[in-house]
Structure formats: structure tokens, C-alpha cells
A and B are shown apart, each in its own frame.
Chain A
Amino acid sequence: LAKTTQPISMDSYEGQEVNITCSHNNIATNDYITWYQQFPSQGPRFIIQGYKTKVTNEVASLFIPADRKSSTLSLPRVSLSDTAVYYCLVGDLMDTGRRALTFGSGTRLQVQP
């Protein structure tokens, strides 16, 4: 099983760029990397997904090095409303592979004014 590790918490200020890294040393060839955001008492919300190199959407960027053993979620110019827990998810369920999806332990981001 892919094992993922993330920093437990991070602090930032409004307007700064925040980079959260997830380590996934045991990632398999077919595994994708997905990041979610979770607010208290809510279900996780999809942020971004990637397989290699760089992916960018309207809310974040995802950087994946060539060896794919880690990934970095980049949030540009955070605001107070970005205070949440961020999870990386690694895994790809195949018909024959039966890999389980593995969430990281989550990084609690606190954005200060």
C-alpha cells in the first residue's frame, strides 16, 4: 500500500503563497495524486489531481517531481477562508490490482490576518 506522510500543521498569513508537500515513497506506476480540502464538519472537497510534472487550475498548482515520490500543493495568495485541513490521496483502483486508496494524515493550515 502507498504510505503517505504530510506535515501536521502549517501557519501562514493572508496574501502569502503556501506550499504543502506530501511524501508517497511507495507510489505505484498507475497511481494518481489527488488533493482535497476539508472544513470542520464537512466532507472533503476536490482541489486538484495530477500524475506527473505540473498541473494548474483556478485555485491551485500541483508539482510532481520526476520520481513521483512526493508532490507539492501550492496555494497562491491564501486568504482566511483557506484555513482548513488539506489531504493528499494516492492510489488507483484497477480491476486486477485491488490497491486501496490511501489518504495522508492531513495538514492543518491556519491562515492569519
Chain B
Amino acid sequence: NAGVMQNPRHLVRRRGQEARLRCSPMKGHSHVYWYRQLPEEGLKFMVYLQKENIIDESGMPKERFSAEFPKEGPSILRIQQVVRGDSAAYFCASSRGQGTYEQYFGPGTRLTVT
């Protein structure tokens, strides 16, 4: 049973380009969470999605960031017009349900903006 998959593992973008980060949840999981971790800092919640629905995006920056979890395919976190401050590790987690269910984390995508 494969765990949470994220790709790419490393992504380099120049300022102003777009970054697309993908997350495939564990089999049987329909809940996906995205977190950002700046260097030497803790994890910050960004967004929580179920299939075709954004449930909570209170941690997402209002501009340039968007997320989706389509009926088919992986969840995607999109960052438009990246800036140096977007450089971070982005982790995806999935769970079977909300609330008490354990979240299983992927290996993360490390975004570097040059």
C-alpha cells in the first residue's frame, strides 16, 4: 500500500514563474491537507480539501496561491508568479476522514525560487 506521494521532490523556479506541486493521497483517503515549512521553522497549515471541494483555506495566502483536488487525479497546489519568499518545503497529508483520523504525510516538495 503506497503512502502519500508528492512530486516533484525538488522544484526550482525563477521569480515570476508558476509552480505546480502534486499530491496523491494514500489509497482510500479522500481528505488532503497542505502545509508549508519554511527553513528552520515549524509546519503551517495552508488548506484542507476533499474531493472537488475546498473545506478550509484559512491558511492560504490570499493572492497567487490556489489548490484543487479534482474527482480524478492528484491534488495540486499552484503558486503563481513565485517570489523568493515562497522557497520552502511543501508537505501534503491525507486521511480517511476529518477530525480524529490520523494524517499521513508525504515526503514533501522542496521549492527553491531563484
Q: Find out whether the CB atom of B91 lies under 8 angstroms from the CB atom of A44.
A: yes
Residues of chain B from 67 to 114 with CB closer than 8 A to chain A in the complex? 91, 93, 98-100, 102-108, 110
User: Given A93-B48, A101-B33, A46 and B102 touching (CB < 8 A)?
Assistant: yes
Among residues 73 to 113 in chain A, which have CB atoms less than 8 Å away from a CB atom of chain B? 87, 89, 92-95, 98-106
A3 to B59, CA, bound (A): 14
Chain B contact residue count (CB 8 A cutoff): 26
Are A32 and B56 closer than 8 Å at their CB atoms? Answer: no
Cβ of B91: which chain A residues have Cβ within 8 Å of it? 43-44
* Interchain CB contact (< 8 A) of B59 among A34, A94, A100: A100
For the residues of A in contact with B, the DSSP-based class is loop
The B-contacting residues of A in range 33-54, CB under 8 angstroms, are: 34, 36, 41-46, 49, 51
Q: Does B65 have its Cβ within 8 Å of any Cβ on chain A?
A: no
B107–A42 contact, CB under 8 A? yes
Q: How far is the CA of A30 from the CA of B100 in the complex (A)?
A: 9
Q: Hey, which chain A residues are within 8 Å of B104, CB to CB? A: 46
What's the nearest-Cβ distance from chain B to residue A43, in Å?
A: 3
Taken together as a complex, chains A and B put the C-alpha atoms of A100 and B34 apart, in Å, by: 12
B residues at A contact (CB < 8 Å): 4, 33, 35, 41-45, 48, 55-56, 58-59, 91, 93, 98-100, 102-108, 110
Q: A36-B105, A92-B98 are in contact. List 4 more A-B contacts (CB 8 A).
A: A46-B102, A46-B103, A101-B33, A106-B43
- Give chain A's interface residues, CB within 8 Å of chain B: 30, 32, 34, 36, 41-46, 49, 51, 87, 89, 92-95, 98-106
